[in-house]
Amino acid sequence: MHEQVLKSKPKGVEPNEGSASIATSSESVVDALKVKEWEVGMFHNEVAATQGIRIRRRPPTGPPIHYVGPFEFRLENEGNTPRNILEEIIWNKDIEVRHLKERKPIGMIRKDLEKAPPVRDFIGALRAANERTGLPGLIAEVKKASPSRGILRENFDPVEIAQSYEKGGAACLSVLTDEKYFKGSFENLELIRNSGVKCPLLCKEFIVDAWQLYYARSKGADAVLLIAAVLPDLDIKYMTKICKLLGLTALVEVHDEREFDRVLGIEGVELIGINNRNLETFELDISTTKKLLEGERGKIIRERNIVMVGESGLFTPEDIAYVQEAGVKAVLVGESIVKQSDPGKGISNLFGKDISV
C-alpha cells in the first residue's frame, strides 16, 4: 500500500496545496487542474453556500480596529465572529492545520507512512459484529470531554478504556484527536494502536484539509470522519479518493436531508453516519435517523449496500432498537458508555445484553 502511495503521485503535483488540489492517481491530473480553476473561480464559502453549507471556512483574523479620537476600539462583527460552536471549532482547526503543515510537510509524512501499521478493515469489522450479534456493530468512542457536556471522565486512561471496550464487544473504536475542544490527541490514537487492541480505529477529527488524511494514517488510523456540514461536495469527492488510495475508510457524516442527498450523489461512499445532534445548536433528536432513512433514501442505501451508522443520543437498549429498526447496521456511542466506571459493562447496559465474544 505504501509503495502504491508513492508511485501514484503524479509528477509535478504536490499534495500540499489544500484539500481539493491533491491528485490521487495519474488519471486525475486533469481533474486536479480543473479543481484549481474551481478554487480560483469561486470563494470556498460561496461554493459551500450553494450546497446548503452554513459553516463558513473563514479563520478568525482578529476583530477590526476602530479609532475614536485618541482611543482604539476592537469591535466584533458578523464577519469575524463564529456563529456557533462548530464554526468556531472549524475556524480554529484551519489555523491549527496550517501550522502543523508548516512543521510537518507532506514529504515527511510520506516517510512516516512507510512505517505505519497495516490498515484494518473497518467496515468488515462492523458487518461481522452485526452478523454475529444481530445488533448494530458498535463503534465505541474514547472521549474525555465535549463542548456541550464538558469533562465526561476525570480518570481518563485511553488505553484502559479502549481495552475495556474491546473486551465488552466493541467492533471498532473512535478516538478523539481534537485537543482544544475534546481534550483528545493523536498520542492517544498511537497509544491505543500500539497497546495490542485489535479493533480498527477511527480518527475522530475535524478534517478540513487532505493533509490530515495522510497524517491520520501515519498515526495508525484505519478510518477518518468527513463532515458534510463542513466540506463541499468536491472536497468530499477528492478526500474519499485519497482515503481509498491510503486504505482508509471514510465515514461521511450527515445530519439533514440536503446533506444526505449530497453524499448519496458522490460515487464510492460506503459508510454514512447520521448524527442525531444538530451541529449548530447541539440539540439531540434520535428521530433524525428514522426520518432520513425513510422512503427513497432508504431504498438507495439498501441497493448500494451502504452501511449506515447511527450517531449521538443513544443511551438505552430502546434507543438502539429504534435506530436499528430505522435501518442502521452500526452505532457510534461515546458519552453513555465512557462515563461508566466499567466502560465494558456500559456496553452491556446500552444493548441490554452481553455482546462480548
Identify the active-site residue in 9, 87, 130, 143. 143
Q: Is the pLDDT of residue 115 over 60?
A: yes
The Cα 307–Cα 171 span in angstroms is 14
318 pLDDT band (50/70/90 cuts)?
Answer: very high
Helix, strand or coil, per DSSP, at residue 17: coil
The Cα 41–Cα 202 span in angstroms is 34
What is the mean predicted confidence (pLDDT) over 186-190? 97
Is pLDDT larger for residue 280 or for residue 277?
277
For residue 234, what is its C-alpha cell?
468536491
Half-sphere exposure of 1 (CA within 13 A, CB side): 19
Q: Is 141 a catalytic residue?
A: yes
Q: Name all contacts of 81-88 with Cβ < 8 Å and 24+ positions apart.
A: 83/54, 83/56, 83/280, 84/55, 84/279, 84/280, 84/281, 85/147, 85/148, 85/181, 85/280, 85/282, 86/55, 86/229, 86/230, 86/279, 86/280, 87/55, 87/56, 87/280
Quote the pLDDT of residue 19: 39
Identify the active-site residue in 141, 166, 190, 205. 141
Q: Which residue type occupies 103?
A: R
Number of Cβ atoms within 10 Å of the Cβ of 268: 11
Q: Is 143 a catalytic residue?
A: yes
Q: Which of 22, 30, 86, 28 is nearest to 56 (CA)?
A: 86
What domains lie within the chain, and their CATH numbers? 115-351 (3.20.20.70)
Identify the active-site residue in 19, 275, 276, 336. 275
Q: Is the pLDDT of residue 326 over 80?
A: yes
Handedness of CA 5, 332, 295, 298 (dihedral sign): positive
Is pLDDT larger for residue 172 or for residue 278?
172
What is the mean predicted confidence (pLDDT) over 103-127? 94
Quote the pLDDT of residue 17: 37
Q: Which residue type occupies 126?
A: L
What is the percent of the chain with per-residue pLDDT over 90, rounded to a whole number? 66
Q: Is 187 a catalytic residue?
A: no
Q: Is the pLDDT of residue 189 over 60?
A: yes
The whole-chain average pLDDT of the chain stands at 85
Quote the pLDDT of residue 143: 94
pLDDT, one tens digit per residue, over 46-94 is 777 788 877 887 655 555 556 666 666 555 555 677 888 888 999 999 9
Q: Is 14 a catalytic residue?
A: no
pLDDT, one tens digit per residue, over 133-166 is 999 999 999 999 888 888 888 889 999 999 999 9
Q: Is 312 a catalytic residue?
A: yes
Q: Is the pLDDT of residue 225 over 90?
A: yes
What is the mean predicted confidence (pLDDT) over 306-328? 97
Handedness of CA 227, 229, 231, 232 (dihedral sign): positive
| Distances 89 to 56, 147, 246, 306, 354 between C-alpha atoms, Å | 11, 10, 26, 29, 37
Q: Is 204 a catalytic residue?
A: yes
Identify the active-site residue in 190, 205, 253, 259. 253
Q: Is 45 a catalytic residue?
A: no
